[in-house]
Chains A and B, each alone.
Chain A
Amino acid sequence: MSDSLAALVASTCEEFGNDRTRMMDIVRAIQKEEGCVSSETLDLIAGQLGTYRVEVESVVSFYAFLSSRPKGEVVVRICDDIIDEMKGAENVAAAFAEELGVEMGGTTEDGKVTLERTPCIGMCDQAPAAIVNDVPITNLDESKARAIAKILQEGGAPAHLVTTFGHGNNANDLVRSMVTNNIRKRGPVVFSDFSSGSAIDKALAMTPAEVIRDVKTSRLRGRGGAGFPTGMKWDFTRHSTGDKRYVICNADEGEPGTFKDRTILTECPDLMFEGMTIAGYAVGSDAGIVYLRGEYAYLLPFLEDVLSKRREKGLLGTNIGGKEGFAFDIRIQMGAGAYICGEETALISSCEGQRGDPKNRPPFPAQKGYLASPTTVNNVETFCCVARILDQGPGWFAQMGSKGSAGTKLLSVSGDCTSPGVYEVPFGITLGDFLKLAGGENAAAVQVGGPSGQMVGPDDFGKTICYDDLATGGSVMVFGPHRNILEIAAKFMDFFVEESCGYCTPCRAGNVLLQGHLKRILDGRGEMEDLDYMQKTGETVKLTSRCGLGQTSPNPVLSTLKNFRPAYEVLIKEKKEEGFKAAFDIQEALGDSKGLIGRESTIYND
């Protein structure tokens, strides 16, 4: 055992107070130094924290960005989601693989570069994209891929790959990223000028109960997808019993096609932190956590800096805004590549230093959340709305939008449209009108709400974007007439199969069954019966899964069955013999045997 490794483990664990609940930070820090969290390291960490090896190992094995085996000094993760695939990610991946001389998933012989695939990294408006260690590289093509591969092989640092910076804070010294914001439409709630502290001042002039009343009056509903009324959630959190309360900001933004929180984190983090601070005052909490997805690690130094500036201004810390006794501070918890960690109870597990497993509900986080204390989990955009509501008044906010959905919504649009990017639009806009804004009016299909949402066709373009009609956490993916709808649905099912935490059978096994049947149909070996089977299985998975992932994962199949049924039916051929399964091909099933034994079948020899 190397002494230096033991020393590193000891000092890292000490830095986090030898606290098991900070496991994510500990293993991330050690991996950063060592390249991986080796088997030996697992034992050392367990020893140092006074816990079992399996506790450490279950964390390291759960997250895509953590590894117990050594990887290259640089890891290139290419987004292989549908939008990137449409923009040529396959060729980019092939160019990388060829230039580096490795297969996908492999590491160059000199240990310099590892090449991997990853689901959506939140750069869909500038696809194909990849992250190289923490550095996002966007608008890739084959020749750029080859050039990058060469630089990395020659030992170039990932940061040096960035030669031009995106606008706004992407060019900030602490970000220095090529990512462009692509904010195409500004609105009054999120993308408007804001002077830090103004909303806090107004909130502190009221009692916490009055703040919650205002949030209720504004009719604000959660922007993360589920649309739960924010004021009500805060009320529950405030009134649940516990010595300590927490405010968590969900910046996991993992739903493919969603990248609106990226622009908030880049351009208006103050608004978001202000909203969190107000939440702290309202629910009676002195501690906030931002759960930032691993893919956005490039924003971490910048966000830390914004936090320290807020501390300097007295907007975080003790006696905030001069209010005696009101203390609140925020820490940033990094994720490590797991879609399920956007689900609030899985997110809490992850913050507690565990695998990102969802928890049983009830109790809800508002009753027993982070470290079993009452916790409100809200989306990045929700906190921005809160700050603006306190600043401008609940009535001002409530009169915008539609009946059941007050205010504006950030939509991130990508795919077959001329102006991909982020739009702040009032709730209640029709999908058709929105597509015109984004230059996507030729769409044959639109995925609203990401893979867990709905695939709709032109018949539904008159529907409105709001919680009660076409709900979305922000993702809008546009597909032109030349796209194969079922291949897109199959891609989404691959995503859910990969991202299911595996805890409950309907989700773990049911999604695999749906995926298999869909592939079968795409192969031209499906039967009409398969459609009924998929419908029933999809409904069962939705009904019997434990968390929101499983409860929405069959949607790619169910919504295309509903809205694009002819796309299935044209692929289904006449049956060969009554009662025989079209998907079963005896010659294919005998292929291996015939080769090994060296003879043809005597039974099936026609």
Chain B
Amino acid sequence: MSTDKPKVATASLAGCFGCHMSILDIDDRILQLIDLVDFDKSPVDDIKEFTGRCAVGLIEGGCCNEENVRVLQDFRKHCDVLISLGECAICGGIPAMRNNVPLKECFDEAYRNGPSVHNPSGEYPSDPEIPLLLNKVYPCHEVVKMDYHLQGCPPPADTIWAALTALLTDKPVELPYELIKYD
């Protein structure tokens, strides 16, 4: 693979992978995309760590735990342009519905009182492998600077395509009304 192509990286933080599915929904245009860019760290190609500097980072989901924060900060260090992709990245989305519930109540429901929970000791799991939860779910731009927001749950493939190709070909991003209309 030629190395002078700009690189794109993606990550799913506290999201449902729906936004990544929408990236894949660009269908056969993915072949055109591969002509334009190389994919770096991303669940799409399963590259786990950055191999170098990237032009664009696409972030799905907000930050619900310390691992999300670490990944997001890592993206900020490695990417020229960072994009919040979808409602969860922009506002916290569904995961942020827990923000009105104290963390202890969330833990109790998940590890003690939930109808399918079997936990005779009543202890919360403390394995260091399990990242610690944040006190609430944060939208990405409250943790690091985000350059763009693409709204939608998920943003349609055509919208992602239009934004990405414009950025990669140095053209102004033009999103006609149909691409950002959601009702």
Write the residues of chain A forming the contact surface with B, with a CB cutoff of 8 angstroms: 529, 577, 579-581, 583-584, 586, 588-594, 596-599, 601-604
Contacts and interface: CB of A to CB of B under 8 A. Distances in A.
B134 A593 contact: yes
9 contacts: A580-B145, A589-B134, A592-B102, A592-B133, A596-B103, A596-B104, A599-B126, A603-B70, A604-B70
Contact of B66 (A579, A581, A590, A596): A590
A604 B66 contact: yes
B124 A597 contact: yes
Interface stretch (B4-12, B34-42, B135-143, B174-182): B135-143
B104 A579 contact: no
B132 A601 contact: yes
Interface string B109-126: 000000000000000111
B126 A581 contact: no
Contacts of A588: 135
Contacts of A581: 141-145
Given A581-B142, A598-B126, A591 B104 contact: no
Contact of B134 (A577, A579, A580, A590): A590
A581 B139 CA distance: 12
In the A-B complex, the 9 residue pairs with the smallest Cβ-Cβ separation, listed nearest first, are A593-B132, A579-B76, A592-B103, A589-B134, A592-B135, A579-B145, A602-B128, A597-B126, A584-B143
Nearest to B104: A596
B140 to A, nearest CB: 10
Interface in B52-84: 66-67, 69-70, 73, 76-77
B161 interface: no
A75 to B, nearest CB: 29
Contacts of B43: none
A598 B138 CA distance: 23
B107 interface: yes
B135 A593 contact: yes
B142 to A, nearest CB: 6
State which size class the interface on B falls in: 20 to 34
B135 A590 contact: yes
B109 to A, nearest CB: 13
B144 A586 contact: no
Contacts of B141: 581
B135 A599 contact: no
B106 to A, nearest CB: 10
Given A581-B142, A584-B142, A589 B67 contact: no
A292 B125 CA distance: 60
A176 to B, nearest CB: 47
Contacts of A594: 132
Given A589-B138, A592-B103, A596-B103, A580 B126 contact: no
A529 B145 contact: yes
Contact of B135 (A529, A579, A591, A601): A591
Contacts of B125: 597
Contacts of B142: 581, 583-584
A597 B67 CA distance: 16
A583 B143 CA distance: 8
Contacts of B70: 603-604
Given A584-B143, A601-B66, 18 more contacts: A579-B77, A579-B144, A581-B141, A583-B142, A586-B66, A588-B135, A589-B135, A590-B132, A593-B103, A593-B133, A593-B135, A596-B103, A596-B104, A597-B126, A597-B132, A599-B128, A603-B66, A604-B70
Contacts of A579: 76-77, 144-145
A529 B77 CA distance: 18
Contacts of B133: 592-593
B67 to A, nearest CB: 7
Nearest to B131: A603
Contacts of A592: 102-104, 133, 135
A300 B141 CA distance: 53
Which of A577, A583, A591, A597 counts the most B-chain CB atoms under 10 A from its CB?
A597
Interface in B126-183: 126, 128, 131-136, 138, 141-145
B107 to A, nearest CB: 6
Contacts of B76: 579-580
Contacts of B77: 579
A580 B144 contact: yes
A465 B93 CA distance: 48
B104 to A, nearest CB: 6
Contacts of B104: 592, 596
A320 to B, nearest CB: 56
A254 B66 CA distance: 46
Contacts of B126: 597-599
